[in-house]
Amino acid sequence: MVSPAIALAFLPFVVTLLIRYRHYFRLFYRAVLVRRLQDYLTGVPQEERAFQYVLTHAIPGDPQHLLETFDHWSIHCEYLSNLGPQKAKILERLIYEKAPLTVLELGTYCGYATIVIAQALPLGARIYSVEMDTRKAAVAEKVIRLAGFDDDTVELIVGPSEDIIPQLKEKYGLLRADLVFMDHGIRGYLRDLQMLEAHDLLPEGATVLADNIIFPGAPRFLQYAKACGKYKWRVHRTSLPYFRGIPDGMAQLTYTGLQ
């Protein structure tokens, strides 16, 4: 047994730890514990629960209202790792600035970022969105169509990014990606960037925007982007969606094609 004196000695340290990392403890509680409990109680995956909420409360064909409904769910009901409004503004501003005609999205999840991109694209532009999880892809498909975007604007491709990227030209007709948005597993960021280069899918001036490069972080991806000499780069400092106390960032790369 630990003596009361020793326990009291450690108390200030524990309190300091709880205060300093309170946002991370809250994230763990909402993103892990609450989710697992609701999964067990309802028998319905979280993404499907979120869609049912959106279906009930959002206005069909109104992308902005749909995004706001997702935000309300994530703040007041259950945490959902969407792009969130703060990062959405960065992505939206970049699309308005670059006006890409072809966008490759790696990691569709529930379709939140897909809608952000789709509503900002110029007329005639198209998104190729890759999601490896079939269950999440099924939810994303319903969300994207509910927002009012059809196959001509958004083509949803189901499968691992490392399998899909080599097939993009011949099977899906994507000859070049003017903008690439990476929001899938961060361990795949560097691999997929190099695959895009190897398959000549990045034209000169193409933009790559990678999320979560600070939390949980993608150091090897950033190191490569800075050292390889092929990119101009910058980092947009922001925070984790719905958790302003947790710093995060998005890396913006511009492909120069130089070696």
**pLDDT at res. 218:** 93
Domain boundaries, the chain: 84-255
Check: CB of residue 223 under 8 Å from CB of residue 253: no
HEC string of 52-91 equals HHHHHHCCCCCHHHHHHHHHHHHHHCCCCCCCHHHHHHHH
Strand ranges for 87-242 from DSSP E: 102-106, 126-131, 154-158, 179-182, 207-210, 231-240
10 Å CB burial of residue 6 (0-12, 13-18, 19+) is exposed
Q: What pTM was estimated for this model as a whole?
A: 0.91
Mean pLDDT by 10 residues, the chain (259 residues): 56 58 84 92 95 96 97 94 95 96 97 97 96 96 96 96 97 97 95 97 97 94 94 95 93 87
Q: What does the pLDDT look like over 18-59, one tens digit per residue?
A: 566 677 888 888 998 999 999 999 999 999 999 999 999 999
CA dihedral over 71, 73, 76, 77, signed as positive or negative: negative
Backbone angles phi and psi of 241, in degrees to 5: -55, 130
Q: What are the residue ranges of helices labelled H in 99-203?
A: 112-120, 134-146, 161-164, 189-198
**pLDDT at res. 23:** 79
Beta bridge partners of 253: 208, 233
Check: CB of residue 77 under 8 Å from CB of residue 242: no
SS3 153: coil
Superfamily of domain 84-255: Vaccinia Virus protein VP39 (3.40.50.150)
Check: CB of residue 113 under 8 Å from CB of residue 83: yes
Q: Is the peptide bond before 216 cis (omega within 30 degrees of 0)?
A: yes
The whole-angstrom separation of Cα 132 and Cα 157 is 8
